[in-house]
Chain A
Amino acid sequence: MPLLILDDLNATFHIAAGDVQAVRGLSLQLEEGESIGIVGESGSGKSAAMLSVMGLLPATCEVSARSIVFNNIELTRIGRRDLRKLLGKDIGMVFQDPMTSLNPLYTIGSQLTESLRLHLRYTPRQARERALELLRMVEIPSPETRLKQYPYELSGGMRQRVMIASAISCNPKLIIADEPTTALDVTIQAQILDLLMSLKQKLNVSIVLISHDLGVITSLCRRILVMYGGMMVETGTTREVFYDARHPYTWGLLRSRPSGSPQTQSADGARGRLVSLPGAPPDMLHPPPGCPFAPRCPHAMRICNEYIPPITDFSSTHAAACHLVYANARLPKKEASHG
């Protein structure tokens, strides 16, 4: 039985200008101890999808799903009170900006012990002991001093470590990390990823890693789910997505990564220049009737603008939603491949 199952998840923001369909029909399965990376550009619905699972989206957002199952509990049928029992206990969350994710008015210790005292009914002393242990686990030096300090006294990297410590405090089964390294500088990013990696192995916890950076995801996840315009466009193991990508958007994503050495030539022939996808992400107030990527897709056909492409399976793990690879259509020729 998978740890997390999303089936046909939809999230719609009702705003004054109309309805923004942030997530459209997303389905996903995650086994215990497995980790998956959700990649996509800003506004592709990757954060909204995970926040809607946790019920953390604002009230203006309407979430519906055929089914959301976590740890054999059907989340669509339980109330907020029961959902809260899972949050912070079985599901830990790490957010994007460590500078603003901690309450400036409370000490690290007080914020770190909050879920311990709430979910595990720890006494203040037990909670303090556990908090010290947690700070050591996330490799924060001199944890005794840190407990008494306030967030402003810690650097961004340290704060993110505190957020991670808080997320793992009650031994969760699942950690949702929403762009955990985006707000940090590159060396710190690597450290935080290493930390998540080692914690994952130590605690056998599942991780959903949300990022717009494929590099970040590959370092931590075996599986990747690519989102565009609120929909899943491709999913597969890291290997399948990197070496056998089937969706033109995934090709674009792979091409737009900075290459290791400035000498290598990128696909458009310009030396050391980043390749970017032309065009802008779709307006989710008025999403195109067909494939959301069609307006920017160099291989778009007439059908792409009219019908949402069905999902085609290539292996038990690999699937893509594109008319080009639809079972009855012919596979794209080699020259259309990624660089």
Chain B
Amino acid sequence: MTIFILITVTFFLMHAVPGGPFSPAEEKNVPPEVLARIASMYGLDKPVGEQYILYIKNLLHGDLGVSYKKTGTGVNELVERGFPVSARVGAWAIALALIIGVGLGVLSAIWRGSPVDVFSLILATVGISIPMFVISLLLLRVFAGMLKWLPSYGLTSWRHYILPVACLSFNPVAYIARQTRSSMLEVMEQDYIRSARAKGLPELVVIVKHGLKNAVMPVVTYLGPLVAGLLTGSFVVERLFSIPGIGRDFVTSITDRDYTVIMGITIFFGAFVVISNLVVDILYAVIDPKVRITE
């Protein structure tokens, strides 16, 4: 249902934007008759409503259509090719964000006011307030431009992953670290933490088993949209580092008015958000027994 609304809104919004994939204004050297023929071939001469019904019909058969600009390439094919690339970079970024974010959050909660805490506060402020493209450009300039330690574009060796993964995980690390810290501070004040200590459990067990598991809820909530966002590719980072993922395809498709690609990737992204939120809900139930009963 959510996805259906998403499709409908995107479809009509997209057509409401002036210009089209084969508008005469852009294709100056092509005679109007040819343009008209191309338009009719793709069904673009029909009324928008009819195009919509046709599109939905094809979609129900799992067909996302054919790209208008990359001749002969199906949108399905495009997604199949781009998604694994985006997902690989995204998965690394998520792993990195979780490990560093949660780790930093926990450490700064238990050593409140220590250098670790101060460092994580600075990192979080920087990470949350500076947009990703600024960080990306900065890292590119320093590590690829000035120091020439790391390659600046493409995705052919593991060294190519370092910069884009770092850029992608920067904001999430900051956010997760802050979130973990504040909920950890709250949890460690709870009575059951005192009970755990009164059992003589080692501090590490108290912190991880009794503390962290309770404190990780808000992070899990944030994980849903984060996973969807990172796995399906980041528009900015993929473009900056010339990574052949679907984020880059999406950006190009919009400037090209490549309707089917726009639609296809939007639907894919939407479906992914829905699915990862579902996974998060399931995770909730795994962690918190109270959620299980209400399901």
Residues of A within 8 A of B (CB): 54, 56, 84-89, 92-93, 95, 97, 100-105, 107, 114-115, 118-119, 150, 152, 163, 166
9 nearest interchain CB pairs?
A: A87-B200, A88-B199, A88-B200, A100-B191, A93-B198, A150-B289, A103-B192, A84-B200, A115-B199
CB distance B200 to A104 under 8 Å? no
* Residues B195 and A86 in contact, CB atoms below 8 Å apart: no
- The B interface, classified by DSSP as helix, strand, loop or mixed, is helix
A119 to chain B: closest residue by CB: B200
- Which residues from chain B contact A118 at a C-beta distance below 8 Å? 199-201
Q: How many chain B residues have a CB neighbour from A under 8 Å?
A: 19
Task: Provide the bound-state CA to CA distance between A84 and B194, in Å.
Answer: 13
Which B residues contact A (CB, under 8 angstroms)? 190-192, 194-202, 210, 213-214, 287-290
Q: 9 additional contacts, CB 8 Å, given A88-B200, A103-B195?
A: A56-B197, A101-B194, A102-B195, A103-B214, A115-B199, A115-B200, A118-B199, A118-B200, A150-B290
B210 & A103 in contact (Cβ 8 Å cutoff):
yes
Chain B residues with CB below 8 A from A107, complex form: 289
In the complex, are the beta carbons of B200 and A101 less than 8 A apart? no
* Chain A residue contacts of B202, Cβ below 8 A: 84
Check B194–A95 contact: CB distance below 8 A.
Answer: yes
Cα distance, A102 to B199, chains bound together (Å): 12
Q: Of the candidates A54, A93, A102, A115, which one forms a contact with B192 in the assembled complex, judged by CB atoms under 8 Å apart?
A: A102
> Are B191 and A104 touching (Cβ within 8 A)?
no
Residues of A within 8 A of B289 (CB): 104-105, 107, 150, 152
Q: Measured between alpha carbons, how far is A105 from B199 in the docked complex, in Å?
A: 17
Are the CB atoms of B199 and A87 closer together than 8 Å?
yes
A105 near B213 with CB under 8 A, answer yes
Chain B residues contacting A88 (CB-CB under 8 Å) are 198-201
A89 touches B200 (CB 8 A): yes
* In the bound complex, CA of A93 to CA of B196 (Å): 10
Question: 11 A-B contacts, Cβ less than 8 Å apart?
Answer: A92-B198, A93-B195, A100-B190, A100-B191, A100-B192, A101-B194, A103-B196, A104-B214, A104-B289, A105-B288, A150-B289
Q: CA A101 – CA B193 in complex, angstroms?
A: 8
Q: Are B213 and A97 in contact (CB under 8 A)?
A: no
Complex Cα distance, B198 from A92, in Å, reads: 7
Nearest A-chain residue to B189, judged by Cβ = A58
* Bound Cα distance from A250 to B136, whole angstroms: 71
Q: Kindly report which residue of chain B lies nearest to residue A96, judged by CB atoms.
A: B191
A104/B290 in contact, CB under 8 A: yes
Residues of A within 8 A of B210 (CB): 103
In the bound complex, residues from chain B placing their C-beta under 8 Å from that of A163 are: 195
Separation in Å of the A215 CB from the closest CB of chain B? Answer: 25
CA distance A304 to B200 in the complex (A): 43
* Chain B residues with CB under 8 A of A119: 200
Question: What chain A residues lie within 8 Å of B213 (beta carbons)?
Answer: 105
Complex partner residue of A105 from B198, B200, B287, CB under 8 angstroms? B287
- Complex Cα distance, B198 from A150, in Å, reads 20
Is B194 a contact of A114 with CB atoms below 8 Å? no
Q: Give the residues in chain B near A93, CB-CB below 8 Å.
A: 195, 198
Q: Please measure, in the bound complex, the distance between the C-alpha atom of A87 and the C-alpha atom of B206, giving whole angstroms.
A: 14
Q: How far is the CA of A115 from the CA of B191 in the complex (A)?
A: 17
In the complex, what residue of chain B is closest to A84 when comparing beta carbons? B200
Contact A101 B195 (CB under 8 A): yes
Closest to A107 in B: B289
Residue of A with least CB distance to B211 = A103
Chain A residues with CB below 8 A from B288, complex form: 104-105
Contacts of B197 on A, CB cut-off 8 Å?
Answer: 56, 87
Report the minimum CB–CB distance from A329 to chain B (whole Å): 43
Contact between B190 and A87, CB atoms less than 8 A apart: no
**How many angstroms between the C-alpha atoms of A141 and B196 in the bound complex?**
25
Give the docked Cα–Cα distance between A119 and B210 (Å): 18
> Which one of A85, A86, A101, A150 lies within 8 Å of B191 (CB-CB)?
A101
A97 touches B191 (CB 8 A): yes
Which residues of B sit under 8 angstroms from A97, Cβ to Cβ? 191
Chain B's nearest CB lies how many Å from the CB of A311? Answer: 31
Chain B, Cβ-Cβ closest to A149:
B289
> With the chains together, A119 CA to B213 CA distance in Å?
23
How near does chain A come to B295, taking the closest CB pair, in angstroms?
15
Q: Which residue of A lies closest to B287 (CB)?
A: A105
